Chains A and B, each alone.
Chain A
Amino acid sequence: MTTTARTPARSPGGPARRRGLNDHHGPWRRLQPFVAILAVVLVIAPPLWIAVVTAGKTQAEALNPDLTLPTRWQLWENVTAVWEQGRLPSAFLGSLLIMVPAVLAVLTLGSLASWVLARRSGRAVAILYALAISGIVLPPAVVTIVLLLRQLGLAGTAIGMIGVYTGMYLSTVIFFVTGFVRTIPHELEEAARVDGASPVRVFGTIILPLLVPTIATATILICLYIWNDVFYAFFVVGGRLDTLPLNLFQVASAGLYLNNWHLIFTYVVLMSLPLLVVFVVAQRKIISGITSGAVK
Chain B
Amino acid sequence: MSTTVQERPVIPSSAGAGRSRRPRTGGSRRSRGNHPLWFLAPAFAVLAVFFFLPTLFNFIYALTDWSSFKSEIAFVGTQNFADLISSGTLLSSLRITVVYAVLVAVFQNVFGLLLALLLERDTRVNRFARVMFFVPVVMSALAVGYIFQAFLKPDGALNGVLSAVFGTTISIPWLGSTTWTLVVVALIHAWKWMGLSMLIYLAGLKTISEDVLEAARLDGSTAWRTFRDIRFPLLAPAVTFNVATALLGSMNGFDIVQATTGGGPARTTELLNIFIFRTFGQGLFAQATTMSLVLFLVVMVLAFPVIRTLRKREDVL
Contacts and interface: CB of A to CB of B under 8 A. Distances in A.
Interface of A: 1, 5-6, 8-10, 15-16, 18-25, 32-33, 35-37, 39-40, 43-48, 50-51, 54, 64-67, 105, 109-110, 112-113, 115-117, 119-122, 128, 131-132, 135-145, 147-148, 152, 163-164, 166-168, 170-171, 174-176, 178-180, 182-184, 186, 189, 193, 199, 202-203, 217, 224, 227-228, 230-231, 234-235, 244-245, 248-249, 252, 261, 264-265, 268, 271-272, 275-276, 279-280, 283, 287, 290-296
B118 A120 contact: no
Given A137-B244, A144-B289, A199-B39, 17 more contacts: A1-B1, A51-B147, A64-B156, A112-B43, A113-B42, A121-B22, A121-B24, A137-B307, A140-B54, A145-B50, A147-B285, A166-B50, A171-B47, A180-B14, A203-B39, A228-B140, A272-B139
A33 B123 contact: yes
Contact of B143 (A8, A44, A248, A290): A248
A128 B44 contact: yes
B95 interface: no
Contacts of B58: 141, 143-144
Contacts of A6: 122, 206
Interface residues of B, number: 122
Given A36-B129, A46-B157, A193 B34 contact: yes
A46 B142 CA distance: 17
A20 B120 contact: yes
Given A50-B157, A295-B2, A137 B10 contact: no
B57 A141 contact: yes
A170 B131 contact: no
Contacts of A10: 122-124
Given A36-B129, A115-B35, A143-B289, A138 B4 contact: no
A73 B133 CA distance: 27
A220 to B, nearest CB: 9
A116 B160 CA distance: 59
A66 B162 CA distance: 13
A295 B34 contact: no
Nearest to B148: A47
A287 B199 contact: yes
25 contacts: A5-B206, A8-B123, A19-B213, A24-B217, A50-B150, A50-B157, A64-B155, A112-B39, A113-B40, A115-B35, A135-B51, A138-B299, A138-B300, A141-B289, A143-B289, A144-B54, A166-B46, A179-B12, A179-B14, A228-B255, A272-B139, A272-B143, A294-B10, A294-B14, A296-B1
Given A193-B34, A199-B34, A202-B34, A228 B292 contact: no
Interface string B261-292: 00000000000010011001000010011001
B224 to A, nearest CB: 9
Main secondary structure of the interface of A (DSSP, over half): helix
A8 B125 CA distance: 12
B75 interface: no
B10 A148 contact: no
A283 B131 contact: yes
Given A1-B1, A287-B199, A294-B10, A48 B50 contact: no
Given A132-B43, A135-B51, A268-B146, A36 B119 contact: yes
B17 A279 contact: no
Given A35-B118, A167-B49, A279-B138, A234 B277 contact: yes
Contacts of B88: none
Contacts of A115: 35, 39
B115 interface: yes
Contact of A170 (B47, B57, B146): B47
B215 interface: no
Contact of A116 (B24, B37, B214, B252): B37
A39 to B, nearest CB: 7
Contacts of A9: 121-123
B231 to A, nearest CB: 8
Interface string B203-217: 100100010011001
Contacts of A186: 22
Contacts of A144: 54-55, 57-58, 61, 289, 292
Interface in B197-236: 199-200, 202-203, 206, 210, 213-214, 217, 223, 227
B161 interface: yes
A18 B11 contact: no
Contacts of A290: 10, 196, 199-200, 203
Contacts of B131: 280, 283, 287
B167 interface: no
Contacts of B251: 139
B248 interface: yes
Contacts of B91: none
